Amino acid sequence: MTDVILQMRHITKTFPGVTALDDVNLTVRRGEIHAICGENGAGKSTLMKVLSGVHPHGDYTGEITLDGQPCRFGGIRDSERLGVVIIHQELALCPNLSIAENIFLGNERAPRGVVNWNRTNAEAAELMQRVGLHENPTTPAMDLGVGKQQLVEIAKALSKRVRLLILDEPTAALNDDDSAHLLDLLRGLRDQGITCVIISHKLNEIQAIADSTTILRDGRTIETLDMTADVTEDRIIAGMVGRDLEHRFPEHEPRIGEEVLRIEDWTVHSPTQHGRVVVSGANLSLRRGEIVGLAGLMGAGRTELAMSVFGRSYGIGISGRIFKDGREIRLKTVGDAIRHGIAYATEDRKRYGLNLIEDIKRNVSAAGLNKLATRGWIHDNEEYRVADGFRAGMNIKAPNVSAVTGKLSGGNQQKVVLSKWLFTDADVLILDEPTRGIDVGAKYEIYSIINHMADQGKAVLVISSELPELLGVCDRIYAMSAGRITGQVTREQATPERLMQFMTKVKEQ
Amino acid sequence: MTSVGPTTGPSTAVPETTASEPAVLKAPDRFGGRLFSANLRQNGIYIAFALIIALFSILTDGDLLAPQNISNLVVQNSYILILAIGMILIIIAGHIDLSAGSVVAVTGAISAVLMVNNDVPWPLAILITLICGGLIGAWQGYWVAYFGIPAFIVTLAGMLVFRALTLAVLGNQGIGPFPDEVRTIANGFMPTYLGNIGLGPLDGADLLTLLLGVAFVAGIVITQWRARAGRVRYGQSVEPTALFVTKLAIAAVVVMTVIVQLARFKNLPWVLVLLAALVLAYSLLTDRVVFGRHIYAIGGNFNAATLSGIKVKSVTFWLFVNMGVLASIAGIVFAGRLNQAGPTAGNGFELDAIAAAFIGGAAVQGGVGRVVGAITGGLIMGVINNGMSLIGAPSEQVMLFKGLVLLAAVAFDVFAKRRAGTAR
């Protein structure tokens, strides 16, 4: 057997109501680049958090051995001491601190508690040299682009004498040049004996760089592929999507009517990164009674597209046209969007969807409160009746509508969010990751609700990272990649492989 | 229950009322334990208030509840209580106002300049002063809501700016005296209309006042009873009848006691009438009006409120306008009571108002709080002030006790939330 640096055996990790990892095994050889693949929600990030001690020992079951030694990490510091360093998807630099300060954050070059700035900056410069970052060590991190910030993170990892470097989607936010540079750097680190575990959605990158690839699906290990043999993208896709579509979705016979919403040439710029185009020239149309999917990998611009349409709640420099029932409309605020019968149920219920300290009743009425009031005066008994109606109709499991939403399970929270939007009488519902963080049984209920919405003549746009879900629920599916709509397939034509090709299509010149 | 399982598919239309559902009506019993603890958390503040009153009644041999002292308590704390109403709304929305004391001073000064120096008729002067208060609030609301500067900074600046304006207007000296009508509002009492009924324990009480008190209590009882009946009709869970009746009875007795005591002294202070009207109006605003509901939504989850189409900026702006108007009412009352607008008026009032809100159950993160709670919080501090001065405690002890009560109240709240598992 070859030299194994890391073994994770029978790892199981549950969150309230959801099993994120189910008996996962992972073996990483010393000095290789090991890719981890899977759809969003397959458990990749959770697995890496277990490995790096973010989820400490005791939070999961199973065992981790590093160099043959069993490890029980109580936190990130424990894992870092053994040379396991994780770089998260969202970069964790302090924007106001210099590159050098960031590199040695928590690990200061400070004999007897006093920072030695000369040593700090000199050692930082050395590390920056190793990762190919040609900047002044005293430059604040916020003055760097995302690509260079990524390099700072890697330099930071190197400063901790990293042996096993974990990168969670390192190239998701990078442009092609920066990505290429980063991949070169990882090869260089491998040659220096550093083992890398890389989570990536970009299959061409995995093909280019990985020595082996482990595929996760629904919290389980599916297989580990040796990439030195000739592995095609299609082979990886087949592993990622699986073939278990039976009985997970309710039967539905669509009754599709005329077009209700059309978006033309929709372009959105990033509000935080100057000049970055997030959605580019998107065209999209929805018809009554139709469930339309929007597929795409992380960073493809799906949420950004939806939110910018929903009363410009995301983005700047938005251009394009929206037609509702054939007439052009302008949606400058969320209020405008709601008045025109458009609803957007967010992908992040807790941060953007619910007032978690309030009860079900007040969350259900939040967007349509004016319907329950005459001249600003709320009829609270009517409000109760409406909310209780949704509780019964949606099968929200709570003793009554005075239950605080923060205590409900993910599925029930999602039903509250959907109730809120149905109460606004919207006829176009954009549902962003409607089943994220929801267990399988509740997912079935949500799908039934979506079907029911369509049966009532509403147009539903489902944004999802789970291809089986889109294939099981939607009548038609758009695919996005890098801000563009790269393809459209009908239910009959749709296969996971075909969608994944659209979703991973890098811009064609 | 009708089984609306995943297979039958949900009904997304608003379904029929489920008033006849026995399961819903049984809810209070099934969840009785939880209901009780929730009640304790909500009502803890009132229990604490009762305990503090009991403590000082004993320590002062009952002087605390003497007619004249109750009257003093109300009048002395009225301006803090008025500020606390505005403050709790701002805190519910997740902001803070540090400038309230300075706004009290500057609006008091404006009213004095108008009434005393320029002989503007007093109703017009009050109107102009209220408008000035609203404009001050609009100024601060603009920076907070539309410019996006944290309220802490904006109102810290306001605290300095409006104090400076006060000094500029007054030229570092007091202006007075105020017209009699204004002094009466701030410091005076309702006249006795029907006279003394001269009966034993009600010795010296005005009959009309007593009748007003009875009418007021009857109004509370009837509206509460009808609201409860409405809930029952809609099949909502309500608190057990015994608890409901007990609470109403306690409230009625407390209100009548206070009114009788006040009637035995010099009758109801006008500020109490003003305050009662404000509390009633703002309680309705927060409980039953769309605008009030939006305040809670913004404080509870700003992003979710924005994505629900709530005009978060506009609501925030008007909250500060409202605070400015309430601060100007407090400014007039305070100046009228001292019969002079002074340069140091309102010093530290904002801190008392903030403390009142937090003792009264507001949450630092926003989204939680009630007007009645803030008033109770303000009264707790008032009783501590008053009771300790009655027993001759030095001011440092008063400060110490007030500080610890504030800390204890918030600590209890955090503890209760953690126990309930809703801590964020």
Q: Does the residue B395 lie in any domain? A: yes
Say what the pLDDT of residue B199 is.
58
The number of domains in chain A is 2
Mean pLDDT of B386-401: 92
Say what the pLDDT of residue A298 is.
76
Say what the pLDDT of residue A243 is.
53
Q: Does the residue A393 lie in any domain? A: no
Which residues of chain A lie closer than 8 angstroms to B307, CB-CB? 310, 313, 334, 344, 346, 352-353
Report the residue of B308, B311, B368, B370 to disrupt the A interface, i.e. the one with the largest count of A CBs within 10 Å: B308
Which residues of chain A lie closer than 8 angstroms to B27, CB-CB? 399-400
Q: Does the residue A80 lie in any domain? A: yes
Top-confidence residue, A342 or B194: A342
DSSP class of B190? P
Helix, strand, coil proportions of chain A in percent (round to 5)?
Answer: 35, 25, 40
Check whether residue A195 and residue A311 sit in a common domain.
no
- Residue B331's CATH number: 1.10.3470
**Of A174-183, A302-311, A374-383, A421-430, minimum mean pLDDT range:** A174-183
Say what the pLDDT of residue B257 is.
87
* Number of other residues whose CB lies within 10 A of the CB of residue B401: 17
Say what the pLDDT of residue A218 is.
80
Say what the pLDDT of residue B190 is.
83
Say what the pLDDT of residue B20 is.
36
Check whether residue A19 and residue A114 sit in a common domain.
yes
The number of domains in chain B is 1
Pairing of strands A18-29, A69-71: unpaired
Q: Are A32 and A212 in contact (CB under 8 A)?
A: yes
Check whether residue A172 and residue A288 sit in a common domain.
no
Check whether residue A297 and residue A192 sit in a common domain.
no
Nearest residue in A to B232, CA atom? A381
Interface residue B225 vs chain A (CB under 8 A): no
Where is the domain boundary, A241, A267, A288? A241
Q: Does the residue B263 lie in any domain? A: no
Q: Report d(CA A366, CA B144) in Å as an integer.
A: 23
> Does residue B232 surpass a pLDDT of 60?
yes
CA triplet A263, A267, A270: central angle to 5 degrees? 135
Q: Are A237 and A257 in contact (CB under 8 A)?
A: no
Mean pLDDT of A41-60: 85
- Residue A497's CATH number: 3.40.50.300
Q: Does the residue B102 lie in any domain? A: yes
Q: Are B379 and B400 in contact (CB under 8 A)?
A: no
* Number of other residues whose CB lies within 10 A of the CB of residue A91: 16
Q: Are A64 and A7 in contact (CB under 8 A)?
A: yes
Q: Are A286 and A459 in contact (CB under 8 A)?
A: yes
Residue the block writes with tokens 């096993």: A164
Say what the pLDDT of residue B28 is.
38
Check whether residue A37 and residue A186 sit in a common domain.
yes
Residues pairing with A21 in the sheet: A13
Name the B residues in 341-380 with CB < 8 Å from any A CB: 363, 367-368
Mean pLDDT of A131-141: 90
Check whether residue A230 and residue A267 sit in a common domain.
no
Report the residue of B307, B370, B419 to disrupt the A interface, i.e. the one with the largest count of A CBs within 10 Å: B307
Pairing of strands A220-226, A377-378: unpaired
* Number of other residues whose CB lies within 10 A of the CB of residue B233: 11
Q: Does the residue B413 lie in any domain? A: yes
> Does residue B15 surpass a pLDDT of 70?
no
> Does residue A452 surpass a pLDDT of 70?
yes
Q: Does the residue B39 lie in any domain? A: yes
Q: Does the residue B8 lie in any domain? A: no
Nearest residue in B to A395, CA atom? B4
Gyration radius from chain B CA atoms: 23
Q: Report d(CA B372, CA B362) in Å as an integer.
A: 11
Token pair of A273 as six digits: 């990164």
Q: Does the residue B256 lie in any domain? A: no
Q: Report d(CA B287, CA A377) in Å as an integer.
A: 10
DSSP class of A7? E
Say what the pLDDT of residue A112 is.
86
Q: Does the residue A82 lie in any domain? A: yes
Say what the pLDDT of residue B420 is.
58
Nearest residue in B to A336, CA atom? B309
For B316-357, write each residue's pLDDT tens digit: 999 999 999 999 999 999 999 999 999 999 999 999 999 999
A358: distance to nearest CA of chain B, Å?
A: 7
Check whether residue A237 and residue A275 sit in a common domain.
no
Q: CA dist B176 to B113, B275, B327, B332, B342, Å?
A: 9, 24, 20, 12, 9
For B262-310, write each residue's pLDDT tens digit: 888 888 899 999 999 999 999 999 999 999 999 999 999 999 999 999 9
Nearest Cα to Cα of residue A458 among B12, B10, B9:
B12
Check whether residue A184 and residue A102 sit in a common domain.
yes
Check whether residue A295 and residue A150 sit in a common domain.
no
> Does residue A209 surpass a pLDDT of 70?
yes
Mean pLDDT of A115-119: 91
Q: Does the residue B222 lie in any domain? A: no
Q: Report d(CA B256, CA B276) in Å as an integer.
A: 14
Q: How far apart are the first and last CA of chain A?
A: 45
A148: distance to nearest CA of chain B, Å?
A: 30
Its pTM surpasses 0.90: no
Check whether residue A168 and residue A269 sit in a common domain.
no
Q: Report d(CA A461, CA A453) in Å as an integer.
A: 11
> Does residue B42 surpass a pLDDT of 90?
no
Burial of A260 (0-12, 13-18, 19+ CB in 10 A): buried
Q: Which domain holds residue B289?
A: 34-188+269-419
Q: Report d(CA A492, CA A497) in Å as an integer.
A: 14
Top-confidence residue, A284 or B35: A284
Q: Which domain holds residue A334?
A: 257-341+464-509
Where is the domain boundary, A181, A206, A241? A241
Check whether residue A201 and residue A312 sit in a common domain.
no
Could you tell me the pLDDT band of residue A1, with boundaries at 50, 70 and 90? very low
A373/B290 CB distance under 8 A: yes
Where is the domain boundary, A209, A241, A273? A241
Q: Does the residue A417 lie in any domain? A: no
Say what the pLDDT of residue B195 is.
65
Torsion sign, CA atoms A305, A311, A315, A316: positive
Q: Does the residue A386 lie in any domain? A: no
B303/A358 CB distance under 8 A: no
Mean pLDDT of A183-203: 89
> Does residue B29 surpass a pLDDT of 90?
no
Q: Report d(CA A142, CA B126) in Å as an integer.
A: 52
For B151-187, write each residue's pLDDT tens digit: 999 999 999 999 999 999 998 889 989 999 999 988 8
**Which amino acid appears at position B120 of this protein?**
V
Helix, strand, coil proportions of chain B in percent (round to 5)?
Answer: 75, 0, 25
Check whether residue A173 and residue A197 sit in a common domain.
yes
Element housing A27 (H / E): strand A18-29
**Of A10-19, B167-176, B219-228, minimum mean pLDDT range:** A10-19
